[in-house]
């Protein structure tokens, strides 16, 4: 069977009619000949009882966005499980620096009010207030985060009032997040709640201007396995100063002054677009969508950043660094390409990596046949235009607006968003003045499948149909595919590896993928589709 023969209705056939009808809207096959982008249903409620990979609002707020701020002590207000299971598994690394001594790093620790039955019945406000007093006395943090779990909203504890009173007692910022797990339909709601509070309570409260000719903030980069450090190494080499990341290896001490930077880079758009937008509105700081996953993607990104400043010296230095880094990694990449070339993969992750890693896999000669997100919104799937890149001064006259607002909920054709005719848009894309419209669908191979909120049944069925060589998953679906004789790589936390970003990260990734593909263990398992019924029993 070729990729284009795959029939989604047949895959869903065993489901009950109501579920089938629902799930059909979340799966789209790429058809390059159709010319337009089809719509996908996304960011809607998961079918109850289906085995989803999704997490909750608390996970998105505490686990993803605010937890990595290393010098803030983050308290989970709730029964112990939520704090325990969001402790350390994401591998968002942090280290000491000029603004943060070792005894002020709390992101590796786990703090919880450990609510018991009597607290749920009689209320947990007193317990929370007491805990704040205790952590201040023992740890002396600069600032505290308080994240709510489901029962807190249900019993009506007033986090705002407890935090305000404690701020008055202790004279430090105590920021609360009403990110009860049931809010919204996934982690995505928690990202938004965290973004609002970081913007409201942190950014712009500092008075120090970050020194540097070209100061960047790096939004939507969480330093998983050291990703941000590899990117910063290259950016600093070129001559940029990174004011702060959001939020990998970041500190309250520097987030306060982020409003003094020249440009915001946005790596994971899904989790942080709200702050990028708000900073542009409030402080006039433009933002640029970037991608440091994949060698070609990194090179394009470095060139785009340099073009934003338009300094000839900076542009020349960018080319020098690209040349030097490429020379160092190309022989190694070529070695691993021999193992990876022609192989196929699936990738299911949260809200941005399933698109970004398509580029790195292509650098290795691999193709992604099925790609899915847990909780992305429609524009992440259907695509959005990359910020127009001005290739020369003369070109800039052709573009009405340099920074284009992404439409996070509804799809509108890019030429309309850029306020120009379709002909003008096509002309600018063809001449290379505008970058192309990018996203999972536009960048996907023809016949490939794009899937939202995939469940275990669909994952298994798609594996049977496509028989990929490797699958990139999270912890929940990893072992399902192992049992099918398929090697999997954890693409949330990279198992125990990383960084995977930029140039050196691409080599580490290539090595890990090549190892997975050539491990003999997988050949010793016979996948069910190659077994007879009696063997399967």
Residues annotated catalytic, as ranges: 56, 59, 90, 191
Residues 6+ apart with CB under 8 A from 469: 343, 344, 345, 366, 487, 517
| Minimum CB distance to ligand CFN, residue 70 (Å) | 16
476 lines the binding site for ligand HCA (CB under 6 A): yes
Q: Which does 475 bind (CB under 5 to 8 A by kind): ligand CFN, ligand HCA, none?
A: ligand HCA
Write out the DSSP string of 191-246.
HHHHHHHHHHHTTT---PPPPSSSEEEEEEE--BTTHHHHHHHHHHHHT-EEEEEE
Q: Which of residues 119 and 477 has its CB atom nearest to ligand CFN in the complex?
A: 477
Q: Does 55 bind ligand HCA (CB under 6 A)?
A: yes
Nearer to ligand CFN, 354 or 516 (CB): 354
First CA to last CA across the chain, in angstroms? Answer: 27
Region binding ligand HCA by CB under 6 A among candidate stretches 274-282, 285-293, 472-480, 519-527: 472-480
Q: Which residues bind ligand CFN (CB under 6 A)?
A: 60, 64, 90, 187, 220, 222, 224, 268, 270-271, 349-353, 492
Alpha-carbon distance 190 to 68, whole Å?
14
Residue 187 as a binder of ligand HCA (CB under 6 A): the answer is: yes
Structure tokens at 422: 């379709």
Q: Nearest approach, Cβ of 387 to ligand HCA (angstroms)?
A: 27
Residue from 248, 474, 485, 498 binding ligand HCA (CB under 6 A): 474
At 489 the three-state DSSP class reads strand
Of 127 and 489, nearer to ligand CFN (C-beta) is 489
DSSP state of 354: H
Instruction: Note if the bond before 247 is cis, omega within 30 degrees.
Output: yes
Residue 3: contacted member of ligand HCA, ligand CFN, none (CB under 5 to 8 Å, by partner type):
none
Position 124 contacts ligand HCA (CB under 6 A):
no
Shortest reach from residue 269's CB to ligand CFN, in Å: 8
Binding at 351: pick from ligand CFN, ligand HCA, none (beta carbon under 5-8 Å per type): ligand CFN
Report the residue closest to ligand HCA, judged by CB.
474
User: Residue 151's binding partner, choosing from ligand CFN, ligand HCA, none, with beta-carbon cut-off 5 to 8 A by kind?
Assistant: none
Minimal CB distance to ligand CFN: which residue? 350
Distance CA 286, CA 288 (A): 7
Phi-psi region of 487 (alpha: psi -120 to 50; beta: other; left: phi over 0): beta
Residue 457, C-beta contacts closer than 8 angstroms, at least 6 positions apart: 14, 15, 50, 51
Shortest distance, position 264 Cβ to ligand CFN, whole Å: 15
Q: Do the beta carbons of residue 305 and residue 216 sit within 8 Å?
A: yes
157-165, 310-318, 323-331, 468-476 -> range binding ligand HCA (CB under 6 A): 468-476
Please name the residue that has the structure tokens 């290739």.
391
From ligand HCA, ligand CFN, none, interface partner of 353 (C-beta below 5 to 8 A by class): ligand CFN
> Judged by CB, which is closer to ligand CFN: 12, or 228?
228
492 contacts ligand HCA (rule: CB under 6 A): yes
Look up residue 251 and give its two tokens: 């500190």
Nearer to ligand HCA, 235 or 370 (CB): 370
Tell me the per-residue interface mask from 350 to 369 with ligand HCA, x by CB under 6 A, - otherwise: x-------------------
Nearest to 87 by CA among 69, 62, 70: 62
CA atoms within 13 A on the CB side of 279: 32
Closest approach, Cβ 44 to ligand CFN, in A, equals 17
CB of 495 to ligand HCA, least distance (A): 10
Closest CA to 244 of 292, 202, 274: 202
The Cα–Cα gap between 159 and 378 comes to 33
Q: Which residue lies nearer to ligand CFN by CB, 65 or 404?
A: 65
Nearer to ligand HCA, 63 or 414 (CB): 63
* Nearest to 239, CA basis, from 297, 320, 298: 320
Q: Where do we find the tokens 């909750």?
A: 56
Choose from ligand HCA, ligand CFN, none: what does 476 bind? Cβ within 5-8 Å by kind.
ligand HCA
Q: Name beta bridge partners: 143.
A: 72
Residue at token pair 């433009």: 286
62 touches ligand HCA (CB under 6 A): no
Which residues does residue 437 pair with via DSSP β-bridges, in sequence order? 385
482 binds ligand HCA (CB under 6 A): no
Q: Where on the chain is the footprint of ligand HCA (CB under 6 A)?
A: 55, 59, 63, 89-90, 187, 350, 474-476, 492-493
């Amino acid at each position: 069977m070729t990729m284009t023969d795959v029939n989604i209705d047949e895959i869903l056939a065993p489901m009950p009619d109501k579920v089938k009808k629902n799930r059909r809207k979340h799966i789209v096959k790429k058809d390059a000949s159709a010319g337009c982008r089809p719509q996908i249903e996304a960011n809607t409620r998961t079918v109850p009882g289906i085995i989803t990979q999704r997490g909750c609002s608390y996970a998105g707020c505490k686990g993803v966005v605010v937890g990595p701020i290393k010098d803030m002590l983050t308290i989970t207000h709730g029964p112990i499980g939520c704090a325990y299971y969001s402790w350390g598994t994401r591998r968002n690394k942090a280290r000491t620096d000029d603004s943060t001594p070792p005894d002020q790093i709390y992101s590796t620790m786990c703090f919880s009010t450990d609510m018991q039955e009597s607290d749920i019945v009689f209320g947990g406000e007193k317990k929370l207030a007491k805990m704040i007093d205790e952590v201040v006395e023992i740890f002396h943090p600069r600032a505290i985060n308080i994240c709510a779990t489901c029962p807190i909203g249900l019993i009506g504890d007033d986090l705002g009032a407890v935090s305000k009173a404690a701020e008055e007692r202790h004279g430090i910022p105590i920021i609360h997040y009403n990110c009860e797990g049931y809010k919204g339909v996934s982690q995505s709601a928690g990202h938004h709640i965290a973004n609002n509070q970081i913007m409201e309570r942190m950014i712009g409260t500092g008075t120090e201007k970050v020194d540097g000719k070209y100061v960047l903030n790096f939004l939507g980069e969480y330093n998983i396995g050291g990703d941000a450090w590899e990117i910063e190494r290259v950016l600093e080499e070129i001559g940029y100063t990174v004011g702060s990341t959001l939020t990998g290896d970041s500190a309250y001490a520097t987030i306060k002054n982020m409003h003094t930077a020249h440009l915001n880079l946005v790596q994971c758009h899904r989790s942080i677009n709200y702050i990028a937008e708000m900073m542009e509105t409030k402080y006039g700081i433009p933002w640029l969508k970037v991608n440091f996953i994949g060698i070609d993607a990194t090179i394009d990104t470095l060139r785009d950043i340099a073009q934003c400043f338009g300094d000839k010296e900076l542009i020349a230095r960018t080319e020098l660094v690209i040349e030097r880094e490429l020379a160092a990694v190309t022989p190694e990449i070529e070695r691993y390409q021999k193992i990876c070339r022609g192989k196929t993969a699936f990738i299911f992750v949260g809200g941005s990596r399933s698109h970004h890693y398509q580029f790195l896999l292509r650098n290795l000669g691999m193709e992604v046949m099925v790609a899915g997100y847990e909780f992305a919104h429609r524009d992440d799937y259907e695509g959005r235009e990359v910020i127009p890149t001005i290739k020369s001064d003369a070109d800039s006259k052709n573009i009405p607006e340099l920074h284009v607002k992404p439409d996070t909920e509804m799809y509108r054709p890019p030429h309309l968003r850029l306020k120009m005719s379709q002909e003008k848009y096509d002309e600018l894309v063809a001449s290379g003045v505008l970058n192309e419209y990018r996203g999972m669908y536009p960048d996907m191979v023809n016949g490939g499948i794009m899937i939202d909120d995939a469940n275990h049944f669909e994952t298994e069925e798609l594996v049977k149909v496509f028989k990929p060589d490797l699958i990139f998953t999270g912890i929940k679906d990893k072992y399902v595919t192992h049992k099918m004789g398929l090697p999997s790589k954890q693409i949330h936390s990279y198992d125990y590896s990383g960084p995977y970003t930029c140039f050196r990260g691409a080599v580490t990734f290539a090595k890990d993928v090549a190892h997975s593909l050539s491990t003999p263990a997988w050949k010793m398992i016979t996948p069910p589709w190659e077994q007879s019924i009696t063997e399967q029993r």
